């Protein structure tokens, strides 16, 4: 135990040294009671969903209005815009809608304020996994706004019920072959999508990608090895379609809507596209279930946004009240109406919403088993290490053991 504690302390020191020179402001240097008009920054692809929320807030708080600043819609340039502003110690964006995977990095740099003391919020009604995604080193650094989890979509005209385990799914693949369709399509192209697939497989098999310190790679454990081996074997056997190595979410969506696969892993938006897109051939002949692991429900990887308060904000008290306002029941119900999965657990049990969106109970089940991607200040490097080496293992370019050893080494290098 002492040796482990010492290693964590050393790694924390290494991380602190690595982050020196671009660290932000300490919470003790901030007036957490200051109030006034603020600006929220969010990717343009989802910013419109906040318009009614901001309108309602502004009507009730004419002296503390919120103005939306739209960031680029793609994640990388949006993150770059925020990072450049924060490195310049700018308070231009008082509230920032962070991709959940950025939270650890922004917290480690002290670019965002911990939500404690005057800035504390009530998280008791939120889905626990969403709170975990906003927590770095046991401190809450952001207010979860919306969430997401991948689901297993299945063709009910081919399989009447969803498989309960990974082995059950594989055992049903002859049915797909008899129908001349793929058994399972998912995202194995070398991009963030394969990080999602690899980490949710590792988590589903009981492993993890990074230890609790956010720094130590843990991808050479027996659990991680078994997970990546299972996906690799399914790909080699053709149970996972070979074309999945070139698939993003959109190719997966198009394949499922075209009736070309019996199963697909994808985000809940595909439920709406399958029901409403004119090109959809599956109509009502499909259903959803949680993704599967070796012993039952798998651990989907969490998506969504966390609202964080800029450490250089001039008015953090207003920012705190606004991020809490976003979490109220009316706003969270409105998010459900926009296929923007809420973080408030009670919304998933609302009979009216369930009647309108029958996938909500399944999504709640998936979210209760979901886990965040690695919460680490070096997420970009960690994700790249997972992408490169998971792709090499699954496509057979390298043996699984070697690829995971290389992944471990690349993740260690990313944190040094």
pLDDT tens per residue, range 239-282: 999 999 999 999 999 999 999 999 999 998 899 899 999 999 99
User: How high is the pLDDT of residue 23?
Assistant: 63
Question: Half-sphere exposure of residue 408, counting CA atoms within 13 Å on the CB side?
Answer: 16
Cα torsion 138, 141, 143, 145: sign: negative
Cα torsion 347, 350, 353, 356: sign: positive
User: How high is the pLDDT of residue 375?
Assistant: 76
Q: Global pTM? A: 0.83
Residue 5 has pLDDT above 50, yes or no: no
Residue 398 has pLDDT above 60, yes or no: yes
What is the rounded radius of gyration, in angstroms, for the C-alpha atoms of the chain? 22
User: How high is the pLDDT of residue 377?
Assistant: 83
Confidence of residue 215 (pLDDT cuts 50, 70, 90): confident
At 80-137, the pLDDT tens digits run 999 999 999 999 999 999 999 999 899 999 999 999 999 999 999 999 989 999 999 8
Question: What residues form DSSP beta bridges with 77?
Answer: none
Burial profile 183-216: b = 16 or more Cβ within 10 angstroms, e = fewer: bbbbbbbbebbbbbbbbbbbbbbbbbbbbebbbb
């Amino acid at each position: 135990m002492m040796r482990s504690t010492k290693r964590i302390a050393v790694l924390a020191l290494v991380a602190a040294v690595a982050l020196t020179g671009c660290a932000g402001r300490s919470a003790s240097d901030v007036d957490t009671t200051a109030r006034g008009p603020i600006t929220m920054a969010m990717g343009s692809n989802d910013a419109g969903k906040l318009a009614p929320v901001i309108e309602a807030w502004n009507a009730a708080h004419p002296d503390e209005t919120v103005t939306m600043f739209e960031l680029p819609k793609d994640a990388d340039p949006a993150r770059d815009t925020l990072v450049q502003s924060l490195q310049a110690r700018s308070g231009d964006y008082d509230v920032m809608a962070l991709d959940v995977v950025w939270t650890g990095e922004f917290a480690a740099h002290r670019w965002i304020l911990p939500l404690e003391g005057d800035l504390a919020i009530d998280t008791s009604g939120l889905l626990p996994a969403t709170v975990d995604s906003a927590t770095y080193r046991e401190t809450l650094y952001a207010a979860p706004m919306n969430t997401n989890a991948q689901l297993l979509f299945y063709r009910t005209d081919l399989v009447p019920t969803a498989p309960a385990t990974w082995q059950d799914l594989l055992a049903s693949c002859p049915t797909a072959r008899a129908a001349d369709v793929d058994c399972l399509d998912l995202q194995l192209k070398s991009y963030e999508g394969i990080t999602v697939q690899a980490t949710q497989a590792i988590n589903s098999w009981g492993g993890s990608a990074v230890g609790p310190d956010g720094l130590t790679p843990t991808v050479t454990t027996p659990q991680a090895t078994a997970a990546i081996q299972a996906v690799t074997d399914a790909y080699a056997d053709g149970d996972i379609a070979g074309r999945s190595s070139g698939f993003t979410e959109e190719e997966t969506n198009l394949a499922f809507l075209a009736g070309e696969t019996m199963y697909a892993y994808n985000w809940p938006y595909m439920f709406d596209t399958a029901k409403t897109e004119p090109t959809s051939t599956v109509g009502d002949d499909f259903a959803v279930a949680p993704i599967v692991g070796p012993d039952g429900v798998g651990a989907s990887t969490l998506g969504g946004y966390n609202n964080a308060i800029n450490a250089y904000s001039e008015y953090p008290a207003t920012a705190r009240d606004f991020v809490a306002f976003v979490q109220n029941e009316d706003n969270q119900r409105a998010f459900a109406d926009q296929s923007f999965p809420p973080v408030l657990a009670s919304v998933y049990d609302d009979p009216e919403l369930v009647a309108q969106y029958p996938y909500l109970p399944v999504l709640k089940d998936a979210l209760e088993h979901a886990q965040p991607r690695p919460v680490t200040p070096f997420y970009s490097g960690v994700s790249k290490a997972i992408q490169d080496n998971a792709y090499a293992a699954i496509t057979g370019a390298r043996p699984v053991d070697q690829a995971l050893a290389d992944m471990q080494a690349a993740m260690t290098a990313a944190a040094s």
